[in-house]
Amino acid sequence: MKEETKRKFAAVNILLAGSLWGSMGLFVRRYDAEGMVSLDIVAVRAVVTAVLVFSFLLIYDRKLLKVKVKDLWCFAGTGLCSIVFFNYCYFKTITMTSMSVAAVLLYTAPAMVILMSRILFKERFTKIKLLSLAITFVGCVFVTGITGDAGHLTGTGVLVGLGAGFGYALYSVFSRYAIERGYESLTISFYTFLFAAAGLLPFVNGKKDFFVCTGSADMLFFTICFGMVSTVFPYILYTYGLKYTENGKASIIASVEPVVATLLGIFVYHEKMTVNGLIGTVLILGAIVMCNIGKKQCGVCE
């Protein structure tokens, strides 16, 4: 497969990953109705993902379970510094500000990815990338509705929210290090959520969560689907896409997540599409297209 084809295929993988992450709300609403709090849901997500990927690797290729001890810091980074840290900060920001404010602050992550990747991996700043980044962020502001929610802003809340964005960005950074050391996306995904589960379990009511998730055949099937759709597939797709895509570009493409979440809310829960939401959706999709077309086609020089 030619390099250009691989890059286009990688962009599709990342777009699919972002779309699957956008389906998270469908699962969270069910767990919320069962009395589970946010941190419980994240812990269940981590445990189920680790178990599913581990089971698959036992059958598919056990060699993918092998990692060097000296490389464990990469997976501690993706699991603890990214998954655990960003979720904690994100949920804390929601309690200190609002859901829309927390979501917008979380989506400062692409900017942080671009900055860190420039410093750590020497990725180039380009006009297309920076313009796409700016449009994406403005789109997220409109989609999440922060334009009518600024009264919830507090200094501490903003700092914690930026911490969520920073933690979210760290997945791309630490995954890049793991990829450069020759690890496959399945290996990275397994050890990411193994570390995340280990970091989260001490802070949740594991016994209660276990009974909620296995209390009926229907709930057990739902939990398995939750792990597969919201985590296993998207993280494998995203991590694979990183092999052939710059971190900054990948982070921008994955910003399709709030668009999908908004559309699912409209079609599944009959939520209304606001003018701001429509504007934000168009901006984000436009930024993703701009990020993936050639500089000559875009009309913006490098």
pLDDT at 6 exceeding the cut of 90: no
Burial of 152 (0-12, 13-18, 19+ CB in 10 A): middle
- What integer is the mean pLDDT of 113-131? 90
Any idea where the domains of the chain sit in the sequence? 3-298
* Distance between CA atoms of residues 272 and 79, nearest Å: 36
Q: pTM (2 decimals)?
A: 0.88
pLDDT band at 296 (very low <50, low <70, confident <90, very high): very low
What pLDDT does 119 receive?
93
Alpha carbons within 13 angstroms on the beta-carbon side of residue 220 total 5
Cβ proximity of 19 and 262 under 8 Å: no
Percent share of the chain, pLDDT over 70 = 92
pLDDT at 47: 96
> What's the rounded Cα separation, in Å, for the pair 102 and 100?
5
Residue 301 has what pLDDT? 43
Residue 243: pLDDT over 60: yes
Q: How confident is the model over 50-65, as pLDDT tens digits? A: 999 999 999 999 999 9
Average pLDDT over residues 66-91: 94
pLDDT average, residue stretch 189-205: 94
Predicted confidence at residue 65, as pLDDT, reads 96
User: What backbone torsions phi and psi does residue 12 show, to the nearest 5 degrees?
Assistant: -65, -45
pLDDT in tens, 7-50: 778 999 999 999 999 898 889 889 989 999 888 999 999 999 99
Task: Over range 236-240, report the average pLDDT.
Answer: 95
- The mean pLDDT of 70-87, rounded to a whole number, is 95
Contact yes or no for 166/29 (Cβ under 8 A): no
- Is 175 exposed, middle or buried, given 0-12, 13-18 or 19+ CB atoms closer than 10 A? buried
pLDDT range class, residue 4, cuts 50, 70, 90: low
Mean pLDDT of 102-114: 88
pLDDT exceeds cutoff 70 at 2: no
**Identity of the highest mean pLDDT range in 86-95, 154-163, 249-258:** 249-258
Give me the pLDDT at residue 268, please.
87
Q: Report pLDDT for 149.
A: 53
Q: Does the pLDDT of residue 302 top 60, yes or no?
A: no
Mean pLDDT for the stretch of residues 250-257:
92
Per-residue pLDDT band for 150 (boundaries 50, 70, 90) equals: low
- Give percent of the chain with pLDDT exceeding 90: 62
Residue labelled with tokens 């229907």: 218
Mean pLDDT throughout 224-232?
95
Q: How far apart are CA 73 and CA 85, in angstroms?
A: 15
